[in-house]
């Protein structure tokens, strides 16, 4: 039976009690994410296709997804996940407490992590855990509903390999970013609530996007730096995703996720077009291969250059007019930055493109499987 549609609570823009004012609290133009019951969506295939795979799609929360889970998962989603985990498996844990300075991460076993987060309420976060730490069926138990997947023209992110990834944590916040691989996302909350702040790709200048990579130059979990232009003009969404609900997030949408209570979620990623898959895969290779291997994104020169680039773009767009000479100097600087970006892409990105085209020129069958 369809779950009745209900209004999302108004977005929280006031500072979170117990935390100093943060950049994430300075957004003035946030609206709620539309919620729709799974049964209502399935009853209207045209709407389903348009909202999840159509052009100009926006974020959507599908309620009632937990009703499709089998027993005993439906009765105790977190307990089943915990019981099935490889408890001795060692994972890398991030320490990013909300409103506090980032602390060095560490390693612990999956069993220790569950105890720290879900029993003792400590601040910790892990992301992107795959079946190395959980049996495939443990993650697969929370798969998106088959009826919904079957109605979509979607393609597996990694060509048929299980794509479910786990995101667990408490009292933590991520960086503001969009996914490097340009994939669409089905993010299913297994347990606990998490707060999401989302922006369309056209808000990149207001969010101070770094060049070359899909991160913001700003830390939205810290107080607002002086002279930060554009943030108050960014137009986005804020919502709290509850257990048993599924967020549908279009590709290249910015997201800042706060673990406001101990929570667990599973993500499935997919593509709706070959072009996005191709360029998204290349971009993912570029980021996860070259930039991570060389660590240039953490280098001091890159952060300084990136911050200058992001601030200048925001000033040109949102700042007060400063006269033609200053504007021309700034535009000239940005043009040089643009050239530098293109040079890096030409040297590294486009050769990868030819490699891919050569390897997969007859490879339409890689799209055959469906998530
Ligand atoms: Fe992400």
CB 6 within 8 A of CB 61: no
CA of 325 to the centre of ligand 1 (A): 39
Residue 330 C-alpha to ligand 1 middle, in angstroms?
31
The alpha carbon dihedral of 213, 214, 216, 219 has a sign of negative
The CA distance from 24 to 258, in Å, is 10
Q: What is the whole-number distance in angstroms between the Cα of residue 327 and the centre of ligand 1? A: 34
- Cα of 188 to ligand 1 centre, how many Å? 13
**How many Å lie between the centroid of ligand 1 and the Cα of residue 289?**
17
From first to last of its 371 residues, the chain has per-residue pLDDT tens of 444 444 454 444 555 556 667 899 888 899 999 999 999 999 999 999 899 888 899 999 999 999 999 999 999 999 999 999 888 889 989 888 888 777 777 899 999 999 999 999 999 998 877 767 888 778 888 988 888 887 776 665 544 444 678 899 999 999 999 998 888 889 999 999 999 999 999 999 999 999 888 899 999 988 888 878 898 899 999 999 999 999 999 999 999 999 999 999 999 888 887 788 877 877 777 776 665 556 777 788 888 988 988 998 898 888 887 788 888 888 888 888 788 777 877 777 666 666 666 655 443 332 222 22
Separation of CA 281 and ligand 1 centre (Å)? 15
For residue 319, what are its two tokens?
């700042």
What domains can you pick out in the chain, each with its CATH number?
Answer: 23-280 (2.60.120.650)
* pLDDT at site 10: 45
Strand 29-31 to strand 235-241: parallel, antiparallel, or no bridges (unpaired)?
A: parallel
Residues linked to residue 216 through DSSP beta bridges, in sequence order:
209
Structure confidence at residue 147 (pLDDT): 84
According to the model, what pLDDT value does residue 68 have? 93
Dist CA 309 CA 312 (whole Å)? 5
Ligand 1 geometric centre to CA of 255 (Å): 7
Residues, the chain? 371
Ligand 1 centre to CA of 122 (Å) is 22
Q: For residue 189, how many C-alpha atoms fall within 13 Å in the half-sphere facing its CB?
A: 26
Please give the distance, rounded to the nearest whole angstrom, from the Cα atom of residue 322 to the centre of ligand 1. 37
How many angstroms is it from 132 CA to the middle of ligand 1? Answer: 20
Of the candidates 213, 188, 207, the one whose C-alpha atom is nearest the C-alpha of residue 67 is 188
How far, in Å, is the centroid of ligand 1 from the Cα of 254? 8
- The whole-angstrom separation of Cα 183 and Cα 61 is 17
Q: Residue 170 C-alpha to ligand 1 middle, in angstroms?
A: 17
Centre of ligand 1 to C-alpha 195, Å, is 14
Distance 178 CA to ligand 1 centre (A): 6
Distance from Cα 331 to the centre of ligand 1, integer Å: 31
Residue 347 Cα to ligand 1 midpoint, Å, equals 26
From ligand 1's centre to the CA of 127, what distance in Å? 9
User: How far does residue 174's CA lie from ligand 1's centre (Å)?
Assistant: 8
User: Ligand 1 center to residue 259 CA distance, Å?
Assistant: 14
128 CA from centroid of ligand 1 (Å): 9
Tell me the whole-structure pTM to 2 decimals.
Answer: 0.85
Q: Say what the pLDDT of residue 47 is.
A: 92
Contact between 85 and 114 under an 8 Å Cβ cutoff? The reply is yes
Tell me the C-alpha distance between 176 and 20, whole Å. 18
Task: Tell how far the Cα of 230 is from the centroid of ligand 1, in angstroms.
Answer: 22
Q: What are phi and psi of 107, to 5 degrees?
A: -120, 145
Residue 197's pLDDT is 97
């Amino acid at each position: 039976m369809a779950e009745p549609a209900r209004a999302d609570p108004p977005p929280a823009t006031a500072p979170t009690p117990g935390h100093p004012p943060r950049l994430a609290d300075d957004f003035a133009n946030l609206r709620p994410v539309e919620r729709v019951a799974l049964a209502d969506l399935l009853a209207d295939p045209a709407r389903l296709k348009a909202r999840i795979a159509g052009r100009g799609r926006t974020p959507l929360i599908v309620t009632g997804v937990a009703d499709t889970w089998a027993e005993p998962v439906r009765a105790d989603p977190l307990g089943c996940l915990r019981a099935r985990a490889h408890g001795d498996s060692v994972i890398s844990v991030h320490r990013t407490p909300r409103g506090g300075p980032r602390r060095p991460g560490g390693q612990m076993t999956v069993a220790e992590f569950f105890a720290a987060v879900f029993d003792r309420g400590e601040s910790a976060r892990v992301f992107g855990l795959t079946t190395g730490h959980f049996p495939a069926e443990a993650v697969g138990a929370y798969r998106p509903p088959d009826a919904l997947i079957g109605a979509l023209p979607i393609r597996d992110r990694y060509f048929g390999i299980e794509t479910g990834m786990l995101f667990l944590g408490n009292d933590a916040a991520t960086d503001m970013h969009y996914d490097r691989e340009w994939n669409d996302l089905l993010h299913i909350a297994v347990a606990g609530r998490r707060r999401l702040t989302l922006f369309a790709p056209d808000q990149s200048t207001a969010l101070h996007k770094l060049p070359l990579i899909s991160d913001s130059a700003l830390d939205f979990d810290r107080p607002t730096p002086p002279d930060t232009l554009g943030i108050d003009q960014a137009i986005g969404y804020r919502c709290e995703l509850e257990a048993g609900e599924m967020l549908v997030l279009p590709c290249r949408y910015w997201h800042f996720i706060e673990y406001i209570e101990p929570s667990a979620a599973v993500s499935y990623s997919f593509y709706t077009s070959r072009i996005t898959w191709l360029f998204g895969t290349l971009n993912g290779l570029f980021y996860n291969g070259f930039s991570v291997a060389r660590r240039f994104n953490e280098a001091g020169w890159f952060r300084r250059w990136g911050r200058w680039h992001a601030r200048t773009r925001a000033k040109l767009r949102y700042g007060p007019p400063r006269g033609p000479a200053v504007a021309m100097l700034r535009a000239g600087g940005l043009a040089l930055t643009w050239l530098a970006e293109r040079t890096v892409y030409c040297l590294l990105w486009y050769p990868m493109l030819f490699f891919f085209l050569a390897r997969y020129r007859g490879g339409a069958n890689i799209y055959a499987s469906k998530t």
